[in-house]
Amino acid sequence: MEQSFDETPGDGYLITGLRTVASDSSSPAILKLDGLGNVLWNKTYHLNKPHAFHIASYVDPEGRTLLGFHADSTLNAISDNCILTKVAADGTTLWSRRIDGIEGRITGCAKDGGQYTVSLEDSTSIYLLKLDTAGVPLWGKRYVYPFSWSTWGGGIISTLDHGYVLRKLVSDGSGWNTFFFKVNSEGEIQWERSYGWGYQFPIDLVQNPDSTLTLLTYGQGFYLSGMDPTGMNVCMTPVTGILTEMPVPYLLAAITLDEFEALMSSESLYLGDSIATNPVMVDTCQFVAGVPEHSGLVTLQVYPNPTNGSLSARINSDLLGSKLLLFDQLGREVLSLILSSLENIIPFEEQPAGLYLYQVVTPKGNMLSGRLIKN
């Protein structure tokens, strides 16, 4: 049950989320604040269902908001009652539509060229729906993944070339990782990428003014990855032909939602500065797990990366006696050795080109891991 926070034109903010309207029901709500955090207006949609689920929103430059959510009699992540509502800058509901023909959940809303694009998902597929600003459907696409989707982690962003990048948490049988792909303005797939090893949950994805991308994920810590406009860096895995693309029909049926404005106010509240927690920044490609604090700094460098064959592991004295394990893309162990000196040669020349995961298990049972590429 997610919330969103959007800046609005001028000086103000928009918060969307779920609020309890009875002891056994929840409803989507939208709250407009000025630049000082004072409440300007709010609106709650009473759906006459016990549960509302997931909020996705997009605010356009004129301050109009497109909300996406679903309502159900049971607390299901997937529903046949997905709803889109367009709200004016002053809080007036302009229209509401139910998506008919697709059972799923709305994961994101975007706008480009005067048209809305909405992403949905179910247990096997991502849907991309294009509609005009009056809520009239234009076209729909379905992208089928051969492995398991999670019911979390979905999202969509529009790109500077009028396309879209969609993200998802997926499993290939060896773990849950971030999967994202780029489509053009007609929904045709341009590239597919995978990121993470074991468990890497997608949180957010943005495109920067120079067309590069930045991905925020969570595993055993938070990770930021900067990518080129094609979604690549040394941490990413290019994926070819995994998704199956097909057109999908759908309808948008006009509906009327019960709505009310509740008495809401805001008050000052001090939030502790997050820098005070002294976050530790590590290389994006080196995932560190379970390393306790101590007076010395645990260091591990596996290099060169990418490599044409030669490979070394440089450590400090804290990691002497650790075991290094190397796995291929299918999760098969291809090498194991003990790090017995500060500079260790890894016999890697005979391994085929591709992406590999390395894990270093310390004598105390802690683990450091990362990824490397052999050209």
- Decide if 233 contacts 225 (C-beta within 8 A): yes
pLDDT digits (tens, 9 = 90+) for 297-333: 457 888 888 888 888 998 888 889 999 988 876 667 8
Average pLDDT rounded to a whole number, residues 52-75: 86
Pair of tokens at residue 265: 């106010």
For the ranges 5-9, 50-54, 107-111, the one whose mean pLDDT is highest: 107-111
Q: Which residue has the higher pLDDT, 157 or 75?
A: 157
pLDDT of residue 375: 83
Q: What's the CA gap between 156 and 140, in Å, rounded?
A: 15
Q: Which residue has the higher pLDDT, 296 or 133?
A: 133
DSSP 3-state assignment of 318? helix
Q: Which long-range contacts (CB under 8 A, 24 or more apart) does 98-102 make?
A: 98/252, 98/253, 98/255, 99/129, 99/250, 99/251, 99/252, 100/250, 100/251, 100/252, 100/253, 101/248, 101/249, 101/250, 101/251, 102/127, 102/129, 102/140, 102/248, 102/250
* pTM (two decimals): 0.73
- Decide if 206 contacts 167 (C-beta within 8 A): no
Q: Residue 40 carries which side chain, given as an amino acid letter?
A: L
pLDDT bin (cut points 50, 70, 90) of residue 272 is low
- Decide if 212 contacts 224 (C-beta within 8 A): no
Q: Which residue has the higher pLDDT, 258 or 172?
A: 258
Q: What is the mean pLDDT of the chain?
A: 83
For tokens 């998704």, what's the residue? Answer: 243
Annotation: CATH topology of 282-374: Immunoglobulin-like (2.60.40)
Pair of tokens at residue 207: 């495109």
Domain ranges of the chain: 4-260, 282-374
- Percent pLDDT > 70 in the chain is 86
pLDDT of residue 280: 57
pLDDT of residue 181: 95
Cis peptide before 304 (omega within 30 of 0): yes
Average pLDDT rounded to a whole number, residues 62-76: 87
pLDDT bin (cut points 50, 70, 90) of residue 285 is low
Pair of tokens at residue 126: 């991502």
The yes-or-no verdict on residue 209 having pLDDT over 90 is yes
pLDDT digits (tens, 9 = 90+) for 94-117: 999 999 999 999 999 999 888 999
| Beta pairing class for 189-195 and 39-46 | unpaired
pLDDT of residue 290: 36
Average pLDDT rounded to a whole number, residues 247-265: 91
Pair of tokens at residue 179: 């999967």
Annotation: CATH topology of 4-260: Neuraminidase (2.120.10)
DSSP 275: G
| Beta pairing class for 333-338 and 367-374 | unpaired
pLDDT of residue 189: 95
pLDDT bin (cut points 50, 70, 90) of residue 198 is low
- Decide if 58 contacts 115 (C-beta within 8 A): no
CA separation, residue 204 to residues 147, 213, 367 (Å): 22, 11, 26
What's the Rg (C-alpha) of the chain? Answer: 24
Q: What's the CA gap between 146 and 360, in Å, rounded?
A: 31
